[in-house]
A and B are shown apart, each in its own frame.
Chain A
Amino acid sequence: MQLLTASKLAAFRGERLIFADIDFDLDAGGAILLRGANGAGKSSLLRTIAGLTPLAAGRLLWNGEDALEDLPTHARRIAWLGHQDAVKPALTAAEHVPDRAALAAFGLAAYADLPARLLSAGQKRRLALARVAATAAPLWLLDEPTNGLDTASIALAEAAFARHVASGGMIIASTHTPLSLPAARILQL
């Protein structure tokens, strides 16, 4: 039995059916890359898996049980990276992510005590990624994780993703740029 199983997922955005009949399963140490044109529903699918957007049809199972029945419990399994960074300009990097090792893993150790408003767009993205890496949640849901990152930072992110998967974590990421993730399956929307 797989840890996370989705069968026939469908969701609406407004009045429009944005995707339907999405099936996938994911086990510890697995990864899925969501691909599709702009507006194909990659972000909506991630929000649905997180329980932010309600399912219109289908079932999402965690360990064989309905994952979305108890949302706070489901939320604790998830580390979320949205298409926005959720970085507060007035707080320092270390106040966002107290875990210095996670900051260092994304090359932010020197910026720990800087207010986030002084960080560049790419550094804010890395800060948001460091927040994901600092959690103990098994399932990382990442919406365009490498948006705005330079090549060196993409390599840092890929290394963090590989470590997470190697230690038995799971990643579902949407991307339209090439992202190297070992053993990741492609789900085309």
Chain B
Amino acid sequence: MIRLVAKELRLSLRHAADTAAALLFFVIAGTMFPFALGPDPATLSAIAPGIIWVCALLAALLPLDRLFGADFEDGTLDLLLLSGLPAAGVAFAKAAAHWLTTGLPLLVIAGPLAIMLRMPAKHLPLLALTLLPGTLLLSLLGTLAAAITLGARRSAVLMPLITLPLMIPTLIFGTAAVTSPHPVAPLLMLAAMLAAAAPLCPLATGAALRLAAE
């Protein structure tokens, strides 16, 4: 499994432009808001957590389309399923690779973007703390949606339509934790959702991969 993650990381390093595209999209989408809403610090700092969360979710969706798509088209998916790993293990490795190449960089770059949006600096650690389970959940649910839509004609359109509604609870608790005076309860809720998704999503993703490979 570690070898599979390493191979995925090497591939995304070779396709660095694709990997960077999601990050650039995140920065640019976040930058649009001050232009649209005006530079008033009070307005911006009030909506900064929401902007960052939504932009991060949308940016993390971008690479999901090719996550299994390329492997499906060039026959690698068959080899992955015949690698001796259970299908859920393949799914877990793919989700981990997606998080390492998309979620983690987004998490790092969210800090500077938040400062640009006039978010008070004391909220930054909390923002990172909520984005950590948030991006992990998106990687898990996103790989699931990517596997379900594999081979469908309009998979690039279908995939966000499946992923984003599933992310709404995460979004609610994530943004609530950043702005609420009592962040522990929403944080625990995020952790609970992550604890449920971490074993269940790879199982479902693995089953969807087997169906797609049939």
Contact = CB atoms under 8 A, between A and B. Distances in A.
B79 A80 contact: yes
A91 B14 contact: yes
A87 B81 CA distance: 16
Nearest to A14: B214
A147 B81 CA distance: 23
Contacts of A51: 82
B78 A88 contact: no
Interface string B180-214: 00000000000000000000000000000000011
B74 A75 contact: no
A48 to B, nearest CB: 10
Nearest to B80: A86
B6 to A, nearest CB: 10
A86 B11 contact: no
Interface in A72-97: 72-73, 75-76, 78, 80, 82-88, 90-91, 95
Contact of B81 (A52, A84, A90, A95): A52
Contact of B79 (A53, A71, A86): A86
Contacts of A107: none
Main secondary structure of the interface of B (DSSP, over half): helix
B75 A90 contact: no
Interface of A: 47, 50-54, 71-73, 75-76, 78, 80, 82-88, 90-91, 95
Interface stretch (B22-30, B83-91, B129-137): B83-91
Contact of B78 (A71, A72, A82): A82
A80 B87 CA distance: 16
B66 interface: no
B75 A52 contact: no
Contacts of B82: 50-52, 75, 78, 80
Contact of A84 (B7, B74, B85): B74
B153 interface: no
Nearest to A50: B82
A142 B83 CA distance: 16
24 contacts: A51-B82, A52-B78, A52-B213, A52-B214, A71-B87, A75-B81, A75-B82, A82-B75, A82-B78, A82-B79, A84-B74, A84-B75, A85-B74, A86-B74, A86-B76, A87-B74, A88-B11, A90-B14, A90-B15, A91-B7, A91-B10, A91-B11, A95-B7, A95-B10
Interface of A is mostly: loop
Given A52-B82, A71-B87, 15 more contacts: A50-B78, A50-B82, A52-B78, A54-B214, A76-B84, A78-B82, A80-B78, A84-B74, A86-B76, A86-B79, A87-B74, A91-B7, A91-B10, A91-B11, A95-B7
Contacts of A88: 11, 74, 76
Contact of A72 (B7, B74, B79, B86): B86
Contacts of B81: 52, 75
A151 B79 CA distance: 27
A80 B214 CA distance: 15
- Nearest first, the 5 closest Cβ-Cβ pairs linking A and B are A84-B75, A90-B14, A86-B75, A76-B84, A75-B82
Given A50-B82, A75-B81, A90-B14, A83 B75 contact: yes
B78 A86 contact: yes
B135 to A, nearest CB: 25
Nearest to A53: B214
A83 B79 CA distance: 12
Contacts of B75: 82-86
Nearest to A13: B214
Nearest to B73: A84
Nearest to A131: B79
